[in-house]
Amino acid sequence: MNGNDTLHPDIQPSISDKLRMSGVSASRQRAIQQALENVNKPGFRIEPSAILPLMKPVTWFPPMWAFACGVVSTGEPLASNWSILLRGVILAGPLMCAMSQTMNDYFDREVDAINEPDRPIPSGKISKSASWLITFGLIITGFLVALSIHPYVVAIAFVGVLMSHAYSGPPIRAKRNGWFGNLIVGLAYEGVAWLTGSFAITQGVPSSETIALAIIFSLGAHGIMTLNDFKSVVGDNIRKVASIPVQLGEKKAAVLASVIMDLAQIAAISILVMKESWTTTALALLLLVAQLPMQKILIANPGEKAVWYNAFGTLLYVLSMMVCAAGIRP
């Protein structure tokens, strides 16, 4: 679990030129250069106010929601299982997802210095050694909460840690290729969290329908992650991170993301049809149709609209997850 301590010598001299060629302003170039110096400074620094931003609370919602979807899909009463639901949601979001974010910020600190120089590590508010202390604290706390739910959930949490390291850290560092990296994140944030929610309530093997939906929405999340990569195109180009927008170009990446998300929802709706759950089928279809004009806007101007679509269009996708979870209940 160790990142590079120095910038790659064959890349460092050309960063200024590449930033200028990318149209980065002079003031931002200075901020980036300072951030690149900060990320590998020795010593231990930690500003308490920077801990929460390091854990990126905005990213916690998808796994928390997926865990809740897994719970709902079982058909078990929520009132009598509220404690498991609460602990599971905390485990999925403020602990395991936060852990994956702090780990990612450690390994991605040089890329973040270019894309987001105000992040806690590039800004110098938290040193790389302090970020690891926070990461291990989240892992240990997560294991304790998982144990309180069920011993098997500890094993699932351990798999989550391994997936986070495979995504961000050496030797795999799957995020260097968007096809693999996005798949790992989708499986971890949606599939693993969904199935954990189902298992935590029933403490048995999830139904075939809930396993199918967990996989389907995990694959669809590949599109969400592609849209998330639009904000990092400049740094990814410089650091040779092969995200989907870098590999395909922004317009093709936007088309791909939209198609993947739509196909996932169509597959989920087909399960509802087989279950003859007509009300939820109609709701899921309405949510899908509502996304289509928004996707048209996204594809027309992906560079500017990716963040907008991730905020609003993706919300409809996420709502469809819960609709489908309710639709397969026994």
Write the DSSP assignment of 257-316 as a string of letters. HHHHHHHHHHHHHHHHHHTT-HHHHHHHHHHHHHHHHHHHHHHHSHHHHHHHHHHHHHHH
* Tokens matching residue 138: 């989240």
The set of residues, in sequence order, having a beta carbon less than 8 Å from that of 106 and lying 6+ positions away, is 3, 121, 128, 131, 132, 135, 168
pLDDT recorded at residue 255:
97
Tell me which fold the domain 25-37+45-205 belongs to.
Tetracycline Repressor; domain 2 (1.10.357)
Q: How high is the pLDDT of residue 5?
A: 45
Q: CA 322, CA 330: separation in Å to the nearest integer?
A: 15
DSSP secondary structure letter of residue 301: S
List phi, psi (to 5°) of 111. -70, -40
Domain boundaries, the chain: 25-37+45-205, 207-330
What pTM does this model have?
0.88
- pLDDT by residue for the chain (330 residues), tens only, comes to 555 444 444 444 467 677 666 666 777 778 888 898 899 889 999 999 999 999 999 899 999 999 999 999 999 998 999 999 999 999 999 999 999 999 999 999 988 998 889 999 999 999 999 999 999 999 999 999 999 999 999 999 999 999 999 999 999 999 999 999 999 999 999 999 999 999 999 988 999 999 999 999 999 999 999 999 998 888 788 778 899 999 999 999 999 999 999 999 999 999 999 999 999 999 999 999 999 999 999 999 999 999 999 889 999 999 999 999 999 998
For residues 232 and 52, what is the distance between their CA atoms, to the nearest angstrom?
21
Q: Which residue has the tokens 């009300």?
A: 279
